[in-house]
Amino acid sequence: MRLNTVIFDMDGLLIDSEPLWGEAADEIFREYGVSLSEEQYKTTTGLRTREFVHWWFTYFQIGDQELARAEKKIIDLVIEKVQVKGSVMPGVQYIFDFFKRKGLKIGLATSSPHELIEVVTSMCGIGNDLQAISSAEDMEYGKPHPMVYLDCAQKLGAHPTQCVCFEDSFNGMIAAKAARMKCVVVPHISQLKEDRWAAADLKLSSLQNFGELHFDLINQ
């Protein structure tokens, strides 16, 4: 099927928020006497906040009674940090204009909560361009499960094989491919050469680098 829909991830793809999530998690986790290495943090990038907290609380044997409080504190701190020093990623306006010219339906599928989605879409100036928004926070399963991508496609009236997704995380890429969608990955520059992106249909160093030839390549 020919592509008629594009679905974007948010954190790390449209806004440079992944370091801010890391800062927030580090600050809150230190209250419990633990810290994550960069490699440890990377393995859980793309998960919902509650799953991220649960995973590491289990790993560090911290009591479940603190889960909800730690989750809320991390989310509140991330929102505060994004508002103060979050920056829009290069090429966001370009890629949205590209797909609007193509007449594709545009959606957002993210693990982030609605409070942060509102902040980021406003900062990026894309609120009016999005025809559907899906947050894995509302769903039974988050990425790498495909549910959030399938939900967004359904809202847009698109068959999964008519969709292309843009992702920056490994868990997000797995979710998109499990949904039977094309996937373009735009990893952080430090992860660009890693072999784990082999499942993607296309790998780019920036949204700005996507062009007509790339579109033709994935639209086959």
Closest CA to 101 of 6, 203, 202: 6
Which pLDDT band holds residue 45 (cuts at 50, 70, 90)?
confident
With 90 as the cut, is the pLDDT of residue 44 above it?
no
Q: Kindly report, residue by residue over 49-86, the tens digit of the pLDDT.
A: 999 999 999 999 998 888 999 999 999 999 999 999 99
Choose, from 11, 151, 168, 201, the residue flagged as catalytic: 11
* pLDDT tens figures, 77-133: 999 999 999 999 999 999 999 999 999 999 999 999 999 999 999 999 999 999 999
Tell me if the domain spanning 5-16+87-218 has CATH number 3.40.50.1000.
yes
- Segment 4-27 shows an average pLDDT of 94
Identify the pLDDT of residue 47: 84
220 band by pLDDT with thresholds 50, 70 and 90: confident
Q: What is the pLDDT of residue 148?
A: 98
Give me the pLDDT at residue 70, please.
Answer: 94
Q: Is 11 a catalytic residue?
A: yes
pLDDT at 1 over 80: no
**Are 80 and 42 in contact, with CB atoms under 8 Å apart?**
no
pTM for the model: 0.91
* Given 9, 151, 168, 201, the catalytic residue: 9
Domain extents in the chain: 5-16+87-218, 18-85
Mean pLDDT, the chain, integer: 95
Specify the pLDDT at position 97. Answer: 98
How confident is the model at residue 52, as a pLDDT? 92
Answer yes or no: is pLDDT of 192 > 80: yes
Mean pLDDT confidence for 197-213 = 97
Q: Is residue 18's pLDDT more than 90?
A: no
What are residue 133's phi and psi, to 5 degrees? -130, 130
